[in-house]
Amino acid sequence: APTVAQEDFLSLKDYSSEEILDLLNLAIELKKPENKHLPLLKGKVLGMIFEKSSTRTRVSFEAGMLQLGGHAMFLSSQDTQLGRGETIADTARVLSGYLDGLMIRTFHQSAVEELAEFSSIPVINGLTDDYHPCQVLADLMTLTEHFGELKGRKLAYIGDGNNMANSLMIGAAKVGLDIAIAAPKGYEPQAEMVDLAQAIAKDTGSVVTVTHDPVEAVKNSDAIYTDVWASMGQEAEAIKRLNDFAGFQVNAELVQHAKADYIFMHCLPAHREEEVTADILEGPHSVIFQEAENRLHAQKAVLVTLMGD
Ligand code: CP
Ligand code: NVA
């Protein structure tokens, strides 16, 4: 397993380009059928705190821990004392006495940071309102499987300047992949996130751009990515967003501007005929289920790196 300077996996911004490439290489190794059951985390236990719903994250972490010889424990915030107001700081110190690692999916990035600060075990970010680093690691793995070297390739992200947009910008910048974000006015990624990604990109030679024109973003791209228009926690805005995101659908017309052998990506779950049409989602360029599978392999690489002996 690669050695990393970080104890936790909170955002890709904390990882160097080399560390990210090492994690990707390890993930590709662990994906080989003969390596599926390497007992690298024998007897170790991962706790998984969920304050939002999940299919992929929960199941891939749980399956991954079992395949590595360990165990994972689902901790719904509803059913633990967290839901009754026990603090994150107390929870962190209690759980550190039982577990070897903690994954958390929650709203505020600050909650993940607080958990990490008070835990004596590694903490992994399983999605916040700001970031989704596990997804992006799986996405970079998927891109690598398709294109090999990512330097000089271009990813277009069409839609909401949300957790996926932020993490994709940072991840792309770290590995030297160009990224163009197209978002409606008012839904651009926060300026500080764009500044951060552009600062990272300066060192790696990647180009990070933000536009309001989906065609401009997609032009000459190797991959097109989209995500839901209303994320978890934004359900009340869903109708308004349908209007505001008109013209930002990934459909047959838009993808014509990409390279002929482009791939279509989506973190899932998807809303058909909203952010993407069914023909694109199910079409020959779509790699959505490879991406979903790669969550397992990418996270096993993170688990082994942070929790292995
Ligand atoms: N992409 C993703 O994180 O999916 P889940 O919400 O199902 O975990
Ligand atoms: N942006 C979405 C991603 C889900 C994996 C959300 O936060 O709901």
Instruction: Confirm whether residue 299 is marked as ligand binding.
Output: no
Given a cut of 90, is residue 128 above it in pLDDT? Answer: yes
Short-list 221, 65, 91, 50, CA closest to 143: 221
**Cβ neighbours of 148 (radius 10 Å):** 9
Measure the CA–CA gap between 249 and 12, rounded to whole angstroms: 28
Q: What is the pLDDT of residues 68-121, one digit of tens each?
A: 999 999 999 889 999 999 999 999 999 999 999 999 999 999 999 999 999 999
Q: What is the pLDDT of residues 271-308, one digit of tens each?
A: 999 999 999 999 999 999 999 999 999 999 999 999 99
Looking at the domain covering 12-131+295-307, what would its CATH class be? alpha beta
User: What's the confidence (pLDDT) of residue 263?
Assistant: 98
ipTM: 0.99
Instruction: Answer yes or no: same fold for 12-131+295-307 and 135-291.
Output: yes
Q: What is the pLDDT of residues 149-204, one digit of tens each?
A: 999 999 999 999 999 999 999 999 999 999 999 999 999 999 999 999 999 999 99
Strand 101-105: give its sheet, edge to edge: 71-76, 45-50, 101-105, 123-125
Short-list 289, 224, 235, CA closest to 258: 224
With contact defined as beta carbons under 8 Å apart, do 291 and 267 qualify? yes
Q: How confident is the model at residue 141 (pLDDT cuts 50, 70, 90)?
A: very high
Domain positions in the chain are 12-131+295-307, 135-291
Q: How confident is the model at residue 2 (pLDDT cuts 50, 70, 90)?
A: confident
- Ligand closest to Cα of 60 equals 1
Torsion sign, CA atoms 48, 51, 52, 53: positive
Which residues belong to the active site? 105, 132, 135, 227, 267, 295
Does ligand 1 come within 6 angstroms of the Cβ of 54? yes
Q: What is the pLDDT of residues 215-237, one digit of tens each?
A: 999 999 999 999 999 999 999 99
User: What's the confidence (pLDDT) of residue 228?
Assistant: 98
User: What's the confidence (pLDDT) of residue 8?
Assistant: 98
Q: Which of 54, 61, 74, 227 to mutate to test the pocket of ligand 1 (most atoms within 8 A of CB)?
A: 54
Given a cut of 90, is residue 40 above it in pLDDT? Answer: yes
With contact defined as beta carbons under 8 Å apart, do 254 and 214 qualify? yes
Q: How confident is the model at residue 1 (pLDDT cuts 50, 70, 90)?
A: confident
Q: What is the pLDDT of residues 242-263, one digit of tens each?
A: 999 999 999 999 999 999 999 9
The CATH number that domain 135-291 falls under is: 3.40.50.1370
- Ligand closest to Cα of 103 equals 1
User: What's the confidence (pLDDT) of residue 100?
Assistant: 98
